[in-house]
Structure 1
Amino acid sequence: MQAHAEGFRVVAARLAAIRERMLQCRVMSMTGRGRRPSVSRSARITMSKERPWLDHYPEGVPAEIDLGAYASVVAVLEEAFGKFKERPAFASFGKQLTYGEIDAMSAKFAGYLSGELKLVKGDRIAIMMPNVLQYPIALFGALRAGLVVVNTNPLYTARELRHQLEDSGAKAIVVLDNFASTVQQVVADTHVEHIVTTGVGDLLGGLKGMLVNTVAKHVKKMVPDYHLPQAVRFNDALARGAHHPLPKVMLSHDDLAFLQYTGGTTGVAKGAMLSHGNMVANMLQAGSWIGRNAKEGEEVIITALPLYHIFSLTANGLVFMRLGGLNWLITNPRDMPGFVKELQKSRFTALTGVNTLFNGLLNTPGFAEVDFSRLHLTLGGGMAVQRAVAERWKKVTGCTLAEAYGLTETSPAACINPLDLKEYNGSIGLPIPSTNVAIWSEENQPLPVGEVGELMVQGPQVMKGYWQRPEETAKVLGEDGWLHTGDIARMDENGYFYIVDRKKDMILVSGFNVYPNEVEDTVMQHPGVSEVAAVGIPDEHSGEVVKLFVVRKDPNLTAEALKEFCRENLTGYKRPKLIEFRDDLPKSNVGKILRRELRDEKKPAATH
């Protein structure tokens, strides 16, 4: 025990030294725009001993990034608009918009938000759209107006949307017609004063745009009727915004850019406050990691994960914007045959996704015939990449599927595998530049190499905290900047990290966090339910699915009736796939339901 205690003290001292060094580097980086803090050779050797991952960095990747390179996300965008004006920036449904066109339209939208709606710096705006051309225009326009973007899942139920709009205090929302009926149900209960609606085809132009909107509404029946008389159409907003100048808003690293909602560790939906500094840091960190693997102005990245998800938002929407890349938007990646047809139209160079997406593509006819000759980057995140999928991906595409790790609270990237990796290695990779990662015990003591404990992250990409929830923030974020991830992991002698187990109770469905508390609270609202426990069970398609263990209050309650209740109150990926009725549930001596016992049961049980 004494030896272990001494080991803890030594590691703690090293970590303290690292923190001090990082703070010094941050101060240096802020003293001059575009000037990287110098790191001597002797300092680098010392750092590599304390941070063994540095010795295994890809060639050209720096230990630290220059945080002073950009004052805000807007500064990055405007640099890209000027530098790549004639280059295509986003493509969807056969329509491409250049950087210059995105610049002009987002400036008009910013003018509308500021000049017409009188929204001011710091006001929140919700964006409720899948991957369509309107999304980046609304996003960039909002940021250029100094607003805080509240990314909103279009598939939210009325209950979920109401909570997010109420909690964030959003004054405006931009929503695709397909989901406007949900907004209609809740808007009276929120602070939303302004609504902008749009159809999928609104930016496609002419007959094509009209045809796409007509098919979506009348043929595929994808647009439920709604009544929002106060709403303004997106194209009308752009036309009105053209009469107002682009607002001049001073932004710094401390200003909020996003409220990115997550369940955190409790299941209560909370807005992670991601500042312009957080986002700039992660763009620079990920950008430096891509390094020489990416060619400026030549990259084409397939954007299938929704841009409202933090992984896609940063990795695709922002990092590749800075590189002058083309984001090829996939509006409905669940339509795998349609997705493959889109891939056949583009000689893409990069693709990000979750394990289920890669597995789905591999099992879709025609995928093996896609042209992979330019593909050099495939990045998996959001959930664990399965070895079988990674190995098959390499065989079919010739490109290694590299796994990365991050959280909403880290903007999101914290660890990434080297992109020159020859084969899948089962690791989540190495900590990226300016990032410290450590393994701590339950007593919050650093653990030595090889020991299993909680994965901790410290760096400039770590959130400012949870929106208006200081107590919840204090539970996960220390004054020294160390973030408790809740994930159980270990580090090897080379600085590679390996996830041993996910958060104790969190369920990970196709890369999306499902928190049992939320599911259970919702199910308990059914009058026929007495007790319920929600757990995740393995699933070959989505990684995990939700299973409910229910004690009935009404003996006539059926599984189908309960599933229908969940369909009305929970987003698709949160809904239970399996329901098992029981006479009682295992509990601790203080009456807490023991989810782990249910999850770890080996005996087969009848499900419904």
Structure 2
Amino acid sequence: MSVIVTDFTQTFLSQMLNITANALKNPAKEAIVAGEESYNYQALIDASRAFAHQLLETSDDLKETRVAFMVSPSFDYVRVQWGIWLAGGVAAPLCITYPLPSLQYVIEDTQAEIVVVGPEYAALLKDWVLEKGLRFIVLSEEKEANGSPAGLPTLEKSRRAMILYTSGTTSLPKGVVTTHANLEAQISTLIKSWKWSENDHIVCVLPLHHVHGIINVVSCALWSGATVQFLPSFSAEALFELFLAGKVNLFMAVPTIYFKLISYWEGLPAERQQEITEALSKFRLMVSGSAALPVTVMEKWKTISTHTLLERYGMTEIGMGISNPYDGERKAGYIGKPLAGVKVRLVDDEGNEVKGRAAGEIQIKGNNVFLEYWRRPEATQKAFTEDGWFKTGDVAVKEKGYYRILGRDSIDIIKSGGYKISALEIEEVLRTHPAIKDCSVIGIPNEEWGELVVAAIITDGVAVDLKELNTWIREKMPAYKTPRQYKIVDDFPRNAMGKVTKNDLKPLFL
């Protein structure tokens, strides 16, 4: 039974995992900058509370009702997410670039009862959501809640808090469920390890339906009482202008973004290059993650910024687990050492812990590890060992205390532009095209994207316009998952069991 607490400060401290502790100490402090607008912590607290009451209507607790929301990175995004948590709901952020079928999948899979959208996304979802009988809230059309309870529910930290979707080795994305306790562990560990403080100012250029942007950037900043700034869209020019303004002292991105920034910087006049280098040299920390960082990119960025990027290792199921040190040597090509409170081991194919410099699968244990795959008990069980270690599927070696990723244990997982993509999911969509008889999707090395998604297809002589094929598939799934190159082949290389040997396809694209 939920207990209604009338003291707002106590409610926020208990409900938000202390995320607003510094906010309550200094409510006038700038919390969020978006476009030309600036919002202090008091405004964020008030807006989050108001939205929680709107969600609750006349009830006292959402009791883990899933709330899907499609809101651009902004003040509104944060107040909606915090409002969901304050009301006792489970937040399910939707990707703002997804086509309708992908959005429908997430909403249906989470069994969301409420869908919240920014006004720019209302037309895309309204008819379908109302047809399904779900509650639909458009932020520009909000009304004052009637009969709101005096307080907000007090939640146990063991309650579910968020569902994020990731592609695994199956053809459809799985919902990764994290509890309030999981989020607290993930956020507090990074704040301590990377020395966040209320004096920090970070710009967010990462999507907010993934752990990197939600936890590492926005949540860590706001827990610390720092300032987070949102850009409407990625622009190398706009980003460098912001850096030159002198307020930002922290930056986190995927290797693809650093690659784009390097390319833009190299095209600037020498005088402008030097101005940018001087501005970047004053930063406190720069981090790269979500995909392997090419050593060439790390070296070029150090020349430009004077900073050695801090590379770390994480995934949706664990938040962050391994990181190069804030103080100490950051080794190029290595993901670093286990974070405080996170246990890491490497095991062989038989599940035995490897010794010395032998390669093994990374397995993780700690309070940061997710609760379950939503409504997939068998997949959850398979993801853990009998003694509770999460099986990441990534293979690494340990050398002088530092972990180095060698690759993935499944060729069907592609890391491109910071995303972890299921080749099987793409193949299932391609096979629905009338001209395609069969297909095989793989990832090939690419300096800018980490890996490039490519596809070999069999048409049995049927003519297919590859430009039209590209347009067709982008209507079926998110653009970042779609192949960048296609090769028409007569057949695939296969093993004795008839399984396609994907590594033998890679030379076609290299």
Give the TM-score, by structure 1 length. 0.77
Task: Read off the aligned partner of 2:187 and give its amino acid letter.
Answer: M
Query: Aligned equivalents of 1:479 and 1:255: distance in 2?
Result: 23
Provide the identity percentage.
25
1:250 aligned residue = 154
**Which of 502, 508, 512 is the aligned partner of 2:408?**
502
Task: Read off the aligned partner of 2:49 and give its amino acid letter.
Answer: A
**Which of 556, 567, 587 is the aligned partner of 2:474?**
567
Is structure 2 residue 286 aligned with structure 1 residue 378? yes
2:275 aligned residue = 369
Query: Aligned equivalents of 1:400 and 1:87: distance in 2?
Result: 30
Is structure 2 residue 223 aligned with structure 1 residue 315? no
Equivalence map 1:521-536=2 (5 Å) = 521-536=428-443
Task: Read off the aligned partner of 1:327 and give its amino acid letter.
Answer: V
Query: Aligned equivalents of 1:116 and 1:525: distance in 2?
Result: 46
Q: 1:598: how far off?
A: 1.2
Task: Read off the aligned partner of 1:501 and give its amino acid letter.
Answer: G
SS of match in other structure, 2:455: strand
Q: 1:501: how far off?
A: 0.8
Is structure 2 residue 172 aligned with structure 1 residue 265? no
1:155 aligned residue = 97
Q: Quick one: structure 1 residues 183 and 368, their matched pair in 2 at CA, closer, same or farther if it must change by over 3 Å?
A: farther
**Which of 478, 491, 494 is the aligned partner of 1:584?**
491
SS of match in other structure, 2:22: helix
Is structure 2 residue 1 aligned with structure 1 residue 93? no
Task: Read off the aligned partner of 1:348 and give its amino acid letter.
Answer: V
Answer with 1 or 2: which has the greater Rg. Answer: 1
Deviations for 1:542-575, whole angstroms, at most 9, x for unmatched residues?
2222111101156122212211211111211111
2:9 aligned residue = none
Is structure 2 residue 262 aligned with structure 1 residue 355? no
**Which of 185, 192, 197 is the aligned partner of 1:281?**
185
Deviations for 1:76-102, whole angstroms, at most 9, x for unmatched residues?
134233122111011011211111110
Structure 1 gaps of 5+ residues are: 1-69, 199-232
Query: Aligned equivalents of 1:583 and 1:397: distance in 2?
Result: 49
SS of match in other structure, 2:221: helix
Q: 1:320: how far off?
A: 1.8
Q: Quick one: structure 1 residues 179 and 113, their matched pair in 2 at CA, closer, same or farther if it must change by over 3 Å?
A: same
Is structure 2 residue 309 aligned with structure 1 residue 396? no
Query: Aligned equivalents of 1:72 and 1:544: distance in 2?
Result: 42
Query: Aligned equivalents of 2:393 and 2:509: distance in 1?
Result: 30
Deviations for 1:162-201, whole angstroms, at most 9, x for unmatched residues?
1111000111122233333432464256463223244xxx
Please tell me whether the aligned partners of residues 465 and 477 of structure 1 are also in contact (alpha carbons under 8 angstroms). no
1:468 aligned residue = 375
2:393 aligned residue = 486
Task: Read off the aligned partner of 1:363 and give its amino acid letter.
Answer: S
Q: Quick one: structure 1 residues 563 and 274, their matched pair in 2 at CA, closer, same or farther if it must change by over 3 Å?
A: same
SS of match in other structure, 1:375: coil
SS of match in other structure, 1:409: coil
Q: Quick one: structure 1 residues 372 and 136, their matched pair in 2 at CA, closer, same or farther if it must change by over 3 Å?
A: same
Q: 1:508: how far off?
A: 1.2
Equivalence map 1:208-223=2 (5 Å) = none
Task: Read off the aligned partner of 1:317 and give its amino acid letter.
Answer: V
SS of match in other structure, 1:569: coil
Deviations for 1:462-481, whole angstroms, at most 9, x for unmatched residues?
11110010011111123422
2:81 aligned residue = 139
Please tell me whether the aligned partners of residues 173 and 195 of structure 1 are also in contact (alpha carbons under 8 angstroms). yes
Query: Aligned equivalents of 1:248 and 1:117: distance in 2?
Result: 10
Please tell me whether the aligned partners of residues 151 and 308 of structure 1 are also in contact (alpha carbons under 8 angstroms). yes
Query: Aligned equivalents of 2:19 and 2:344: distance in 1?
Result: 29
Q: 1:495: how far off?
A: 2.2
Task: Read off the aligned partner of 2:433 and give its amino acid letter.
Answer: H
Q: Quick one: structure 1 residues 426 and 604, their matched pair in 2 at CA, closer, same or farther if it must change by over 3 Å?
A: closer
Deviations for 1:572-598, whole angstroms, at most 9, x for unmatched residues?
111111011111112233332222221
User: More helix per residue: 1 or 2?
Assistant: 1
SS of match in other structure, 1:396: helix
Deviations for 1:36-95, whole angstroms, at most 9, x for unmatched residues?
xxxxxxxxxxxxxxxxxxxxxxxxxxxxxxxxxx98661313423312211101101121
1:290 aligned residue = 194
Query: Aligned equivalents of 2:128 and 2:146: distance in 1?
Result: 31
Give the TM-score, by structure 2 length. 0.91
**Which of 343, 354, 375 is the aligned partner of 2:243?**
343
User: More strand per residue: 1 or 2?
Assistant: 2
Q: 1:417: how far off?
A: 0.7
Q: 1:321: how far off?
A: 1.4
SS of match in other structure, 2:313: strand
Please tell me whether the aligned partners of residues 310 and 408 of structure 1 are also in contact (alpha carbons under 8 angstroms). yes
1:122 aligned residue = 64
Please tell me whether the aligned partners of residues 400 and 422 of structure 1 are also in contact (alpha carbons under 8 angstroms). no
Task: Read off the aligned partner of 1:358 and give its amino acid letter.
Answer: Y
Q: 1:341: how far off?
A: 2.5
Q: Give the aligned length.
A: 490
Query: Aligned equivalents of 2:285 and 2:93: distance in 1?
Result: 26
Structure 2 gaps of 5+ residues are: 1-11
2:295 aligned residue = 387
1:324 aligned residue = 225
Q: CA RMSD in A?
A: 2.2
Q: Quick one: structure 1 residues 185 and 428, their matched pair in 2 at CA, closer, same or farther if it must change by over 3 Å?
A: farther
Please tell me whether the aligned partners of residues 128 and 174 of structure 1 are also in contact (alpha carbons under 8 angstroms). yes
